[in-house]
Every structure is written in C-alpha cells, then in structure tokens.
Amino acid sequence: MASTRTVNLKGQTNFVEVIEMCQNASGAGSKQVIQTALGMADPLARDLITAALDPYQVFGVKQFDMPSKFEVPGFAGVGIFLDLLQALSSRSLTGDAARAAVLKTLAMFDARTAPYLARVIDKDLRAGFSADSANKAWKANPFPGDMDRSMIPTFEVMLADKCDDMDDFAKYVTFPCQGDWKYDGQRTICIVRQGRPVEYRARSGKPMDHLVGTYDKDLSNIREYIGYDFVMDGESFAGNFTETINAKKEGNQEAKDALRLRAFFLMPLTDWIAQKTDITMRRNREMLISLFVKCDLRRIEVSKGREVKDFQDMTTYCNHVIDVEKQEGLILKDWAAVYTWDRSMAWCKVKRFYDVDCKVTGFYLGKKGTKNAKRLGGIKVWGRTECGTIVESDCGSGFTDAERDEIWSNQPKYMGATVVIKYQEVSKSKNKAVASLRFPTFERFRDDKTVE
C-alpha cells in the first residue's frame, strides 16, 4: 500500500493556491479549471494531495485543536508537515502525543496555510476532486524531475450492476443463485489487523469514524478465531436509512446501538491488497454462516437472503422482501463468481415487480440455435397499467416447455386471450410512441377478464 514520501525540504509549495483554485471552481468549465490547477501542482503539493486522498494512509487523529497563534510568519517548510504525517501514519505518534504534535506543527505555519494542512490530516480536502482526477492531471502534466511518481491508490469495492432487458437477464444471470436483501444502509468495509485499531471505510474509501468501537469486539473475535488479518465487506444498517444516518450524529446513542453489520464477504487482507481472490460466493457464504456461529457475534450477521431457483421464484421473493421485510429489493449473486473490485453482473440488483393484465396480440418463434427454435419464443401483448399507461411488449419468459408447445400449435385459440404479465418498470423508448415493460414475464392466463 502506498504511503506519502517523506521529504525533508525547507522549500515552499503552491499547495494552498491549487486547493483554493479547485474549491472555487464552479459552473460549466469547473472540471477544466480543476484539471488545470492540479496540473500546476508542484511536487510537494502533490505529496500533500496524495496524503489526503490515499485511502490506505491513515493518520489516526480524530480530533485536534487548531493553533490560536502562529510561531512563524509566512509559510514554513512543508517537509516538517510531511514528516509529521509519516509519524502519524506509522503510529509512532498516537493519542495525546499525536494531538500535541499536530497543534505544534500547524502553529509553525501561517493562519492561511494551517487550515488547509489540517484538511490533509482530516483526509478531506473539500476541493471538488478525487484521486482519479489528480491521477489524470498528473499523468498529463508530469512535473520535471518527478517522473517516478506513483499514482494515488484508489479504493475500489465490488458493485452490483443491473440488466436493461430480458436478453441481458438471460445472458448474465444464472439460476439458481443467491438472492441477498438489498439494504438501504451504508456500505462498510472493515480492515482488521492484529494489534491495530479496526479501520472502517465507506465505499469511496473515506474513513467512517463514527463506527469506531461499534463492531470492534466482534471483529476481534473473528480475527482471533481465524488467525489472519482480513477485510470484511458489508452494510451498516439500523432498521431504516434515517436511523442509519442518525447513528453518525454526535449524541444519538440509540441509533448507534441499533446498528448491525450485514456481512457480504470476508477475505484475507492479502487478497484485498492484491485485488484478487479465488473465494466464490457460495464458499464465502457457507464460511460466513459457519464462522459467525462459532464466534458468537453480537452486532455482525450474515446478510439475509436465500437461494432463488428461477425467475418466477426470484420475483416472488423480491416482492416479499420489499412488501414484508421493507427492504429495497435483491442483489442476485452468482454462486460461482468471485469478488471483483469493479461493477459486475455477477451481482445483479433487482427491485419491485408489478402485475398488469394484457391482451395477447401476436406470437413469435424462439431464436435460432436455442431449444425454442421451432416453438413459441414468446407472445406480443398490449395492456394498460394501473395508472392508465398503455404498454406494448414482447414477453418471452415464464413459460413451461409444455406451454410453449401448446400455444405455438394453437395460436388462434390464444390470440386475444388475457394474460397476467409481471414486470419491473415501464420504460419509454425515444423511437416508439407506446411504452414497453422492463423484464416482462408470463404469469398465467385468466378467463375472468377481457382487456380492451
């Protein structure tokens, strides 16, 4: 993991000017202004920006005082401050000694500069750019004599993708698979090392200091049992999103006490650093279930969910999770997939499914090369949603083999019939006058209603 380079220089830097230019950028051209400013940053300014944005360099000082007076007029050598960061990061300075050192060092600078340096320790420059932006600017504008600079590490996690249509669903989602609840909480990454405080990170890599102490005991129990440093990926959740956010506020102990970590994945820290693991979703879930029972945890539990066997089972369970369990939906996880540090269809998010009564207006063959090539591929339907929106769609999912044979062989019998179609949402194409259904799937015929 990268760390700030210690530079014992007494020179000056344009760090403050660069940050001020970035934070003051606004309007349509703000991105270009920020890129220009970052490209102008001198090597010491780049060191400071790297220190602030490197998610793996932690300074461990949660609160510290700002100087009431400054010992040196003007700007002292930034090397002194970089040396302080190195001492904080290596934990050779901790607790009261660290806070005292921060106060003393900031007092060596002037009233304009010290607050910007404090932002580095806070890991929040508040200047409207990310590590990706800085890396892009520095790659395009390498500083003379500074060609060996490494890029700022970025903090990546696995993210769920979504299918745009049924063809995507058929291509990317393999049943059976795990249907995890989609919580409306806060993504939480726990980095657990022996002999060091637990690090809690958001999906962006930003420290989640309000969680310090919340899950430490459970995570320490896991570390002691498995015998190696690890990373746990999960979701902090206190019953609903409002309470989850309230837990971040000072003095709201009730909300904080309600927080639970729903664990998605656990891997050795070495896998996380290498960004490569061979642990499959199935193996991971089985391991978590077994491990959590043995460790007698109090505030960490395996993310809730169950295996879904097919599309119909998935839609039924998804609506149950939304209507009864009051969660957002499901994340479908491919049993054979491994954790990747990117957005992936191996995790597919799905939300509520609705029913609409439609009239059958046509039929079409299955695609060549498939088992349905000589029988029903699907039906064409027309109908109105409950809010009155007229929809037209092709529907090729939800039929049994017997239904495909029967309908294709007796098309006149089924033309104009009323069917119940389950769908996720209504979509409107720019090229079509009528809306269509997203993820339409056949549920059943009904003979007690006619759609006109």
Is there a single domain that holds both residue 336 and residue 440? Answer: no
Comparing C-alpha atoms, which of 197, 231, 233 is closest to residue 216?
197
Are 255 and 335 members of one domain? no
For residues 118 and 32, state if they share a domain.
Answer: yes
- The verdict on 200 and 121 lying in the same domain is no
Among 85, 107, 140, residue at a domain's last position: 140
Select from 272, 286, 277 the least CA-distant residue to 178.
Answer: 286
Is the domain of 346 the same as that of 362? no
Provide the token pair at 84.
């302080």
Which pLDDT belongs to residue 148? 63
Q: Residue 264: in which H helix or E strand, if any?
A: strand 260-268
9 falls within a domain: no
Residues 110 and 203 reside in one and the same domain: no
pLDDT tens, the chain, 452 aa long: 333 333 333 457 899 999 999 999 988 889 999 999 999 999 999 999 999 999 888 898 878 999 998 866 555 578 899 999 999 998 899 999 999 999 999 999 988 999 999 999 999 899 999 898 999 999 998 877 666 667 888 889 999 998 877 778 888 999 999 999 999 899 999 999 998 889 999 988 888 888 999 999 999 999 999 999 999 999 999 988 888 888 888 778 888 899 999 999 999 999 998 899 999 999 999 999 999 999 989 999 999 999 999 988 999 999 999 999 989 899 999 999 999 999 999 999 998 888 899 999 999 999 999 999 999 999 999 999 988 899 999 999 889 999 999 999 999 999 999 999 999 889 876 677 789 998 899 999 998 888 88
Which of 140, 168, 201 represents a domain boundary (last residue)? 140
The CATH number linked to 283 is: 3.30.470.30
Q: How many domains does the chain divide into?
A: 4
Q: Based on the domain organization, do 293 and 392 belong to the same domain? A: no
Domain that holds residue 201: 184-302
The answer to whether the beta carbons of residues 51 and 82 sit under 8 Å apart is yes
Same domain? 136 vs 207: no
Structural domain includes residue 2: no
Q: Which of 280, 302, 324 is the last residue of a domain?
A: 302
Q: What is the pLDDT of residue 9?
A: 38
Does residue 151 form part of some domain?
no
- Whether 7 is in a domain gets the answer no
Establish if 1 belongs to a structural domain.
Answer: no
The verdict on pTM exceeding 0.75 is: no
Q: Exposed, middle or buried by CB within 10 Å (0-12, 13-18, 19+), for 16?
A: buried
96 is a domain residue = yes
In this structure, the answer to whether residues 362 and 414 fall within a common structural domain is yes
Question: What's the confidence (pLDDT) of residue 272?
Answer: 94
- Whether 186 contacts 201, CB under 8 Å: no
As a whole number of angstroms, the distance between CA 321 and CA 329 comes to: 6
Claim to verify: residue 223 and residue 76 sit in the same structural domain = no
Asked whether residue 237 is domain-assigned, the answer is yes
User: Looking at the domain assignment, is residue 373 inside a domain?
Assistant: yes
435: domain CATH number? 2.40.50.140
Q: Are residues 116 and 90 in the same domain?
A: yes
329 and 401 share one domain: no
